[in-house]
């Protein structure tokens, strides 16, 4: 986590740079309407958007709306979405979601946070995704793993839990930008600030991100001397590297054992 906080005065510059990088921010979950987005978002837990997009065409072809999905057999839905992982729980959730929409909202996705979080499978994050992406309504900031990580690195929050991170972001990000800001960080986290190998040296945000410099000097206003971006490199250990490291440890232990034996002989009193 970043040791310094990005000044609130730097936030407009941050948003402007992100908007230049990603002029048309949107969710990467394929959907035609709010119902499809809600189902896709529920299925996106613990998997990638790409994987979800591989199963939704078949799912929505067979169950095009809430009324159809509410009548579905769980085994049939499970078979379609099996590759997304945790498919039994997800099938149960999206069928329950569809039944709730039919029973409480005439088959339509509600447009308030209070109503949406009462739908099976639609916790606050999911509700905010749907409200923002489908209706353009900003009731909060979506905090997924990318938003959590980048918010900490940039210096927008010092917290680890999602609830406090969202509150911190809502305090410094203008409400008109809440929906886009989440998309900005998600896209940036996937394309540039990749968790395993962040491209700090090439990142257009490196003069704003308090974690991109050594020593950490924090935000540098325009016109002042800039720090030198770090080139962060992550080495992925291969099987051969692991074997070599294990062999090295074994050799080191053997040498240490031999050394102890020699020392013991030297110190052994003569009779």
In what helix (H) or strand (E) does residue 223 lie, and over which residues does it extend?
Answer: none
Are the CB atoms for 142 and 129 separated by under 8 Å?
Answer: yes
52-56: long-range contacts at Cβ-Cβ below 8 A with a sequence spacing of 24 or more? 52/84, 53/28, 53/29, 54/83, 55/80, 55/81, 55/83, 55/84, 56/29, 56/30, 56/31
Which listed residue (99, 125, 168, 177) is catalytic? 125
Is 65 an annotated catalytic residue?
Answer: no
DSSP-derived secondary structure for 145-188: HHHHHHHHHHTS----SHHHHHHHHHHHS-GGGHHHHHHHHHHH
Selected catalytic residue, list 13, 92, 144, 232:
144
Establish whether 177 is a catalytic residue: no
CA distance 79 to 251: 52
Catalytically active residues are 125, 144
């Amino acid at each position: 986590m970043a040791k310094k906080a990005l000044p609130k005065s730097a936030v407009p510059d941050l948003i402007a740079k992100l908007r230049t990088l990603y002029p048309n921010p949107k969710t990467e979950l394929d959907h035609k309407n709010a119902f499809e987005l809600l189902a896709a978002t529920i299925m996106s837990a613990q998997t990638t958007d790409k994987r979800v997009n591989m199963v939704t065409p078949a799912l929505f072809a067979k169950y095009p709306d809430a009324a159809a999905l509410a009548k579905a057999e769980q085994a049939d839905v499970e078979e379609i979405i099996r590759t997304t992982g945790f498919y039994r729980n997800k099938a149960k959730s999206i069928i329950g979601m569809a039944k709730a929409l039919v029973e409480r909202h005439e088959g339509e996705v509600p447009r308030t946070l209070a109503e949406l979080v009462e739908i099976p499978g639609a916790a606050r994050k999911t509700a905010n995704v749907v409200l923002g992406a489908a209706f353009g309504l900003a009731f909060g900031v979506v905090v997924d793993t990318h938003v959590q990580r980048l918010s900490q690195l940039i210096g927008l929050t010092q917290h680890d839990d999602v609830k406090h991170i969202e509150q911190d972001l809502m305090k410094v990000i203008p409400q008109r930008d809440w929906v886009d800001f989440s998309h900005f960080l998600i896209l940036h986290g996937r394309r540039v600030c990749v968790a395993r190998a962040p491209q700090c040296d090439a990142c257009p945000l490196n003069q704003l991100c308090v974690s991109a410099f050594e020593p950490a000097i924090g935000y540098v206003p325009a016109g002042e001397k800039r720090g030198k971006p770090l080139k962060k490199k992550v080495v992925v250990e291969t099987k051969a590297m692991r074997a070599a490291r294990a062999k090295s440890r074994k050799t080191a232990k053997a040498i240490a054992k031999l050394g102890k034996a020699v020392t013991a002989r030297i110190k052994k009193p003569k009779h």
